[in-house]
């Protein structure tokens, strides 16, 4: 009997929905892509609507609707924390209690209001937060059995979970519980360095290569008690999140000699070194935990999820350490992926459905291209209705030739083709593309297209067969979740004298070519790699292949199709708007090419740089 399950994550950050039929992922999407509010935590009514659309199923025919964490258990944590900490935790308790009691407890009402039904089960089922992360990591992976490691800020109680998946069953072996949390430690440092919690962690990771791990020992001496097996205890008196609404407190600030950096102020050597230090500590914890997990489970494969699994530098170190033979990371590793995990765990555990077979090394995540698509008919309906000029090129080869030639000429391309990605990375469906050989690409993309900090690196999408020509990496990296060095012979010497002597101007480093593909080579000669196969994303592969044919270079610069603070685009409308607000040259919407110089002036009286809250 076929089973269709809807998974929902909501009310913390990055709400999302996913739908699974008989263990096959049909669709998944984050609410922010539809609501256009970054990290939107609200009930994901648009994402649910899309999932039902893709599955083409009446909501009343859903076999189960599953929420990604247990609100009662979460409330229990908040309550017990309040009782332990006392009156100082009142603000935090009030906020958490109103979120729990105001939203989560009334899940059935939310769903009924949005869908008009609770499906065949007649009630919303709830799963455990870390179990949904574990499920999102294991079930879509290509492994029949694997060790499971999930690490994030906090779920109900668990912040780090070690487990094992075999067949269609998952077992959690041990957990570290709140308030001890690697995710919260990283977020505390993110906050201290002046970046936004729950979104700025990525920037901190990008900043790390500019610094030295000078504060690593101070972190280990003062903030965390790290044990040989990777387990840890935070020294909670240094953190503000137990009894307040901020991540750090005066004791934390005292360890590092001053108050947090003000957001948007100049980044100094101190932040670079702090970023490098927390990154080093994180990598050490991940490696120790992985060694312990290998020993405990005897498994050859490891799967990862939870927000910490988005730390692709740590993932790269884990891969390079060869603790496990194979590694697979859920591309929607954060809370959004909990929706997928919730649907999968209900399918495999509650309904005891077997896992779908998979072909060879291929996983079951479908390249994470499991969001909405807007086909050529829909694209043209939009462009025609708005009266925007475009050129339709139905011949794939001809179209790829035109686009690849534009990139080779130094043009920046908006690319909205196929089903949207699930997860925070653009993987060649909603991407901005450029020429990695061009030394100006990084600064042009950062300053004229993305309007973001110039230190942030860009990632390469490389043909899978050219991966080892460019990078020192032992495996494929389909989801841009592994960082590895650019091959030595491609690296170019950099003049770091001034910078190492204490000049904080990162631009003096950034503007130097670091390899023959400078736009994707970070200052430590690393790159965040996406390997592309002909099967994973055929049009994207064809484009890179054509670019290789024209230039000899088998890769493109790939960054997410958005501006700073804006969710990645979803629809042709979003794409056109973002395209016209930036200095991109060409927009590709399925088989339609939209050249900027042919477009009418956009009647846009919105002060859009203020529309999106800075991330």
Partner 1 sequence: MSRQCFEYHPSTAYRFIPGLKARVPHESGGYLIRANSDGFRCDHEFSKARTPGKRRVLLFGDSFTAGDGVSNGHRYSEVLETLLPSTEVYNFGLPGSGTDQQYLAWKDFAQGIDHDVLVIAVLVENIRRIASRFRRYQNDQGQEVVFAKPYFTLVNGALALHHSPPERRPIAEDSLPPEERAAVDRGGRFETIRKLINRAGLKEIVQKVTGYQPVPEYGSASNPAWQLMRAILTEWTQAETKAYAKPIVIMPIPLYQHVEGTSSAKAYQKRFSEVGKDLGCTVHDPLPDLRNYSSEDRRKFRFPIDIHPTREGHAAIAKSLAPTIARLLPEI
Query: 65 or 529: whose CB is closer to partner 1?
Result: 65
- Report, in Å, the least distance between residue 115 CB and partner 1: 4
- Report, in Å, the least distance between residue 379 CB and partner 1: 10
Query: 373 or 487: whose CB is closer to partner 1?
Result: 373
The number of angstroms, rounded, from the C-alpha of 196 to the middle of its chain's C-alpha atoms is 15
- Report, in Å, the least distance between residue 47 CB and partner 1: 9
- Report, in Å, the least distance between residue 491 CB and partner 1: 44
- Contact between 227 and 284 (Cβ < 8 Å): no
Candidates 23, 20, 11; CA nearest to 51 is 20
Write the Ramachandran bin of 119: left for phi over 0, alpha for psi from -120 to 50, otherwise beta. left
Helix/strand/coil (H/E/C) assignment for every residue in 13-43: CCCEEEEEECCEEEEEEECHHHHCCCCCCCC
- Report, in Å, the least distance between residue 580 CB and partner 1: 12
Helix/strand/coil (H/E/C) assignment for every residue in 53-122: HHHCCCHHHCCEEEECCCHHHHHHHHHHHHHHHCHHHHHHHHHHHHHHHHCHHHHHHHHHHHHCCCCCCC
- Report, in Å, the least distance between residue 607 CB and partner 1: 14
Query: 123 or 573: whose CB is closer to partner 1?
Result: 573
- Report, in Å, the least distance between residue 256 CB and partner 1: 44
Cis amide leading into 190 (omega within 30): no
- Report, in Å, the least distance between residue 582 CB and partner 1: 17
- Report, in Å, the least distance between residue 339 CB and partner 1: 17
- Contact between 473 and 541 (Cβ < 8 Å): no
- Contact between 146 and 134 (Cβ < 8 Å): no
Query: 343 or 519: whose CB is closer to partner 1?
Result: 343
Write the Ramachandran bin of 418: left for phi over 0, alpha for psi from -120 to 50, otherwise beta. left
End-to-end CA distance of the chain: 45
The DSSP secondary-structure symbol of 329 reads: E
Q: How far is CA 462 from CA 254, 309, 552, in A?
A: 45, 22, 12
Q: Are strands 391-392 and 592-595 parallel, antiparallel or unpaired?
A: antiparallel
Query: 59 or 367: whose CB is closer to partner 1?
Result: 59
- Report, in Å, the least distance between residue 5 CB and partner 1: 17
Query: 34 or 191: whose CB is closer to partner 1?
Result: 34
Query: 171 or 384: whose CB is closer to partner 1?
Result: 384
Query: 117 or 174: whose CB is closer to partner 1?
Result: 117
- How many residues are given for the chain? 615
Residues paired with residue 16 on neighbouring β-strands, in sequence order: 9, 30
Query: 278 or 379: whose CB is closer to partner 1?
Result: 379
The whole-angstrom separation of Cα 576 and Cα 585 is: 12
Candidates 567, 555, 338; CA nearest to 428 is 555
- Report, in Å, the least distance between residue 386 CB and partner 1: 7
Query: 6 or 154: whose CB is closer to partner 1?
Result: 6
Q: Which residues bind partner 1 (CB under 8 A)?
A: 33-34, 45-46, 49-50, 52-53, 56-59, 114-117, 372, 374-375, 377-378, 380-382, 384-387, 570-571, 573, 603-604
* Helices within 139-224 (DSSP H only): 182-192, 201-207, 216-222
- Contact between 449 and 566 (Cβ < 8 Å): no
């Amino acid at each position: 009997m076929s089973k269709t399950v809807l998974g929902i994550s909501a009310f913390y950050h990055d709400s999302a929905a996913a739908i699974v039929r008989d263990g096959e992922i049909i669709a998944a999407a984050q609410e922010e892509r539809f609501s256009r509010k970054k990290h939107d935590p609200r009930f994901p009514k648009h994402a649910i609507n899309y999932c039902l659309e893709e599955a083409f199923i009446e909501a009343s025919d859903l076999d189960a609707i599953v929420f990604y964490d247990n609100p009662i258990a979460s409330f229990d944590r908040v309550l017990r924390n309040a009782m332990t900490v006392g009156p100082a935790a009142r603000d935090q308790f009030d906020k958490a209690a109103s979120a729990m009691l105001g939203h989560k407890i009334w899940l059935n009402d939310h769903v009924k209001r949005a869908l008009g039904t609770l499906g065949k089960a007649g009630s919303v089922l709830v799963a455990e937060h870390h179990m949904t992360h574990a499920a999102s990591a294991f079930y879509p992976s290509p492994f029949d059995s694997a060790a499971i490691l999930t690490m994030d800020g906090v779920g109900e109680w668990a912040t780090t979970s070690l487990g094992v998946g075999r067949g269609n069953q998952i077992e959690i072996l041990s957990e570290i519980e709140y308030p001890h949390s690697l995710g919260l430690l990283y977020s505390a440092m993110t906050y201290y360095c002046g970046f936004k919690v729950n979104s700025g962690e990525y920037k901190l990771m990008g900043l790390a290569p500019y610094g030295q791990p000078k504060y690593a020992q101070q972190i280990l001496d003062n903030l965390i008690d790290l044990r040989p097996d990777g387990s840890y205890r935070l020294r909670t008196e240094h953190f503000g999140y137990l009894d307040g609404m901020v991540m750090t407190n005066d004791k934390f600030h005292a360890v590092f000699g001053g108050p947090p950096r003000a957001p948007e102020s100049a980044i100094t050597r101190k932040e670079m070194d702090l970023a490098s230090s927390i990154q080093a500590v994180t990598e050490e914890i991940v490696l120790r935990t992985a060694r312990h997990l290998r020993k405990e489970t005897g498994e050859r494969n490891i799967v990862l999820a939870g927000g910490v699994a988005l730390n692709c530098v740590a993932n790269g170190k884990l891969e390079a350490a060869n603790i496990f033979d194979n590694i697979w990371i859920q591309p929607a590793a954060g809370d959004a992926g909990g929706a997928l995990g919730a649907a999968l765990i209900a399918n495999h555990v509650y309904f005891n459905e077997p896992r779908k077979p998979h072909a060879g090394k291929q996983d079951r995540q479908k390249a994470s291209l499991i969001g909405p698509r807007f086909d050529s008919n829909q694209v043209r309906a939009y462009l025609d209705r708005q009266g925007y000029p475009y050129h339709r090129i139905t011949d794939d080869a001809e179209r790829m030739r035109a686009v690849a030639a534009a990139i080779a000429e130094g043009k920046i391309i908006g690319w909205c083709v196929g089903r949207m990605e699930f997860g925070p990375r653009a993987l060649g469906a909603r991407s901005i593309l450029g020429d990695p050989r061009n030394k100006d690409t990084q600064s042009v993309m950062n300053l004229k297209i993305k309007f973001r900090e110039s230190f942030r690196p860009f990632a390469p999408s490389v043909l899978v067969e050219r991966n080892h020509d460019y990078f020192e990496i032992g495996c494929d990296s389909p989801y841009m979740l592994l960082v590895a060095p650019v091959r030595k012979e491609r690296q170019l010497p950099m003049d770091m004298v001034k910078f190492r002597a204490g000049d904080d101007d990162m631009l003096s480093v950034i503007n130097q070519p670091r390899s023959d593909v400078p736009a994707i080579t970070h200052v430590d000669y690393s790159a965040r790699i996406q390997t592309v196969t002909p099967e994973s994303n055929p049009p994207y592969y064809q484009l890179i292949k054509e670019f290789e044919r024209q230039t000899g270079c088998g890769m493109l610069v790939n960054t997410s199709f958005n501006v700073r603070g804006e969710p990645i685009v979803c629809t042709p409308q979003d794409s056109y708007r973002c395209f016209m607000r930036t200095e991109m040259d060409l927009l590709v919407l399925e088989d339609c090419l939209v050249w900027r110089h042919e477009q009418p002036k956009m009647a846009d009286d919105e002060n859009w740089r203020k529309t999106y809250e800075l991330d």
